Chain A
Amino acid sequence: MNRNGPLALGFHTLVVAFMLAPLVVVCLVAFTPENTLSVPTTSFSLRWFRAVFAHPDFLQSFQNSLWLALGSASIATLTAVPAALAITRYQFRGREALNGLFLSPLIIPHLVLGVALLRMFAVIGASGSFGWLVLGHVVVVTPYVLRLVLAAMVGFDRSAEQAALSLGASPATVFRRITLPMILPGVTGGWLLAFINSFDEVTLSIFITSPATVTLPVRMYMYATESIDPLMAAVSAQMVALTAAAMVLLDRIYGLDKVLVGERT
């Protein structure tokens, strides 16, 4: 039941090509056998992928990013789930303000948060600390978890919870046996979305990482401002692959359409 004319479809094709072009070109150039940025036409080579694995800086940054994303997504989930319970299950003064505060990193530019944390870390002597870097990321990824968990908590039938409570189950038991299983897709989906966002984050991180804690996107940013060679393309292609894998997982667990537009398509 396509109701689009040829003009509309032509326009649509251009938009899709525009959206995919930079990602496709990055993935193609990664396989070039040349020393320059060129799209391979006759022969493909894995030399730049080998070069990435021989580059200790990129490997170190990859590890940093991985631990950072694992840590911050997990802590964000552990703080967002009880906060979401408070916001959805209780009526109290300050509820709206709390909700606004916990979602505020979505409207505060990461750049501003980055310089603010840089200042605070300098004052309290936390500059270059990996633990504080993790907490910085927790703040920016918590809203993503919170939004999915909130949506999961308001979206299900609460009569089962009420039945359990009226039968004498403690609030803790109700949460563990009824609420948590029902919101689990929202919780795991939120964790994954937080992981992706932390792994990709560059603007906040560039201010609060030290040479030892540099993340992969920050390393790539620094590298790209100095020199441009196919090594960057190979790293980028691997980031695209990793993101794609996480997206497939997110789609299976929660539904990518629900994450992106908030509903089933």
Chain B
Amino acid sequence: MSGAALPATSRSPAAARAARPWWLSAPALVLFSGMVIVPLLMTAVLSFNVFDHTTGVKAGEFTLAHYSKVFTDPYYLGIFWHTFWVSGLTTLICVLVGAPEAFVLSRMGPPWRAIFLLVVLAPLLVSVVVRAFGWSMLLGREGLVNKLLALLGIGATKLLYTDAAIVIALVHVMLPFMVIPVWTALQKLDPAVTQAALSLQASQATTLRRIILPQILPGVLSGSLLVFGLSASAFAIPGLLGGRRLKMVATVVYDEYLHELNWPLGAAIAITLLAANLLVMLSYNRLVEGAYRKRMGA
């Protein structure tokens, strides 16, 4: 590569150095522009396109009808409401189970602490389809859970294809996302502060409530937002455990795209989901950053 023909200024070492990070990130930048930004913009445009059931998408004509359908039609409002409370319940259970579990793990001695941390977190790497299938076997009419219930004297209960099944499996998938931030917050605790509280005659319960809980609260909060956002857009779990009848936002988008073939309406639902999700996740980032800055300042 000879620079002889170029003006001397553009070949100065400073200019070359300034261009270097852009050259280095060029492949990723091209990839993400072409595969994230462009498709999302195209989908945003699609969500305003007129749709006709016989002729399909009309590229040149625009309408707000799909969004007004999403926000006024009781069917779609019901789906969003259902998704909202299933995700909310999942988040609540993850807080009630994940935070204490992280606390119990942090109080274990080696080697159990590392082993059980991995046992609780590693299912994260197993395909969600496998885990959903595992739960559909456990929760089926002849499944292990019903057999356990029978031992307790409770008759056969329909669990599969109910909200209970969706919430149980979602909690299984999301629990690690709650344990990780709480665990991280617990690792940053200064044990000397707890010791000080105990030596000043504070009871175990008071120490937990006044010293430990306030410090892990940012972790619980960021975990909750992450769990809520991921649950609200979950697809495979409601698809496999909710059956054909129980719908969540993601499975409705799938139906609109691949069964109804009404892509503009599907796009409007997807864009609404994305907007809601970004709102939740970005407030998560803001919270985490805020907590981080506070720690650095302290």
Q: Which residues of A are in contact with B by a Cβ distance under 8 Å?
A: 1-4, 8-9, 11-12, 15-16, 18-23, 25-26, 29, 36-39, 78-80, 82-83, 85-87, 89-90, 92, 95, 98, 101-102, 104-105, 107-113, 115-120, 123, 135-136, 138-139, 142, 171, 196, 199-200, 202-203, 206-207, 217, 220-221, 224-225, 228, 232-233, 236, 239-240, 243, 246-247, 256-257, 260-263, 265
Contacts and interface: CB of A to CB of B under 8 A. Distances in A.
B42 A116 contact: yes
B291 interface: no
B20 interface: yes
Interface residues of B, number: 88
B103 to A, nearest CB: 8
Nearest to B98: A15
Interface of B: 17-18, 20-22, 24-25, 27-29, 31-32, 35-40, 42-43, 46, 97, 100-101, 104-105, 107-109, 112-114, 116-138, 140, 142, 144, 169, 172, 175-176, 180, 183-184, 187, 229, 233, 235-236, 239-240, 250, 253-254, 257-258, 263, 266-267, 270-271, 273-274, 277-278, 281-282
A142 B20 CA distance: 21
Contacts of A29: 137
B240 A225 contact: yes
Contact of B239 (A37, A107, A221, A232): A221
> Which A-B residue pairs are the 7 nearest by beta carbons?
A22-B134, A109-B233, A116-B39, A86-B21, A200-B127, A90-B21, A86-B24
A199 B126 CA distance: 10
A28 B208 CA distance: 41
A139 B35 contact: yes
A23 B130 contact: yes
B35 A117 contact: yes
Contacts of B135: 22
A102 to B, nearest CB: 6
Given A247-B122, A256-B118, 19 more contacts: A12-B116, A15-B175, A22-B169, A86-B24, A92-B18, A101-B32, A109-B250, A115-B257, A115-B270, A116-B40, A120-B42, A217-B127, A221-B236, A225-B240, A228-B137, A239-B126, A239-B130, A240-B130, A243-B127
A82 B166 CA distance: 41
B39 A120 contact: yes
A257 B134 contact: no
Interface of B is mostly: helix
Contacts of A19: 119-120, 123, 172, 175
B43 A20 contact: no
B233 A111 contact: yes
B239 A2 contact: no
A83 to B, nearest CB: 4
Contacts of B114: 257, 265
23 contacts: A9-B104, A16-B120, A19-B120, A19-B175, A20-B123, A22-B130, A29-B137, A37-B140, A83-B25, A101-B29, A102-B25, A102-B32, A109-B274, A109-B277, A111-B250, A117-B35, A117-B39, A119-B39, A139-B32, A139-B36, A202-B128, A247-B122, A265-B114
B235 A112 contact: no
Contact of A135 (B31, B100, B184): B31
A263 B254 CA distance: 38
Given A224-B240, A225-B239, A239-B126, A233 B250 contact: no
Contacts of B121: 260-261
B119 A20 contact: yes
Contacts of B274: 108-109, 112
Contact of B25 (A98, A107, A256): A98
A83 B131 contact: no
Nearest to B230: A109
A257 B118 contact: yes
Contacts of B132: 224
